[in-house]
Amino acid sequence: MYLMQKKSNKKIIHNSDVLVVTGSTVANGTFEDIMAMASDKRVIFYGTTIAGLAALMGVERFCPLSE
C-alpha cells in the first residue's frame, strides 16, 4: 500500500503485516505516529534520509545503494 494521506495510515497499518516506509517520515513529521501505530508490526525503513536515525534508534533499514 502506498500512503498518500495521513488519515489513511491507521487503517492501512492495522491491515498490514510488514511496512516498508520511506525515511522521509523523519522530514515530514510522521515518523513517531507511524512507529506508535505499528508497534506490533515489522517496520523496514528505506533510503538515506533515515540512515542516521536508524543507526541511533536501532530501527531496521534497507538501502541497496548505501552501506
CA 19, chain centre distance (Å): 7
Q: What is the pLDDT of residues 1-55, one digit of tens each?
A: 555 567 778 888 999 999 999 888 888 888 999 999 999 999 999 988 899 999 9
Contact 21, 37 (CB under 8 A): no
Kindly give the residue spans of alpha helices, DSSP state H, lying in the chain. Answer: 9-14, 24-28, 31-37, 51-57
Does the pTM exceed 0.85?
no
- Mean of pLDDT values over 57-67: 85
User: Which of 54 and 65 is assigned the larger pLDDT?
Assistant: 54
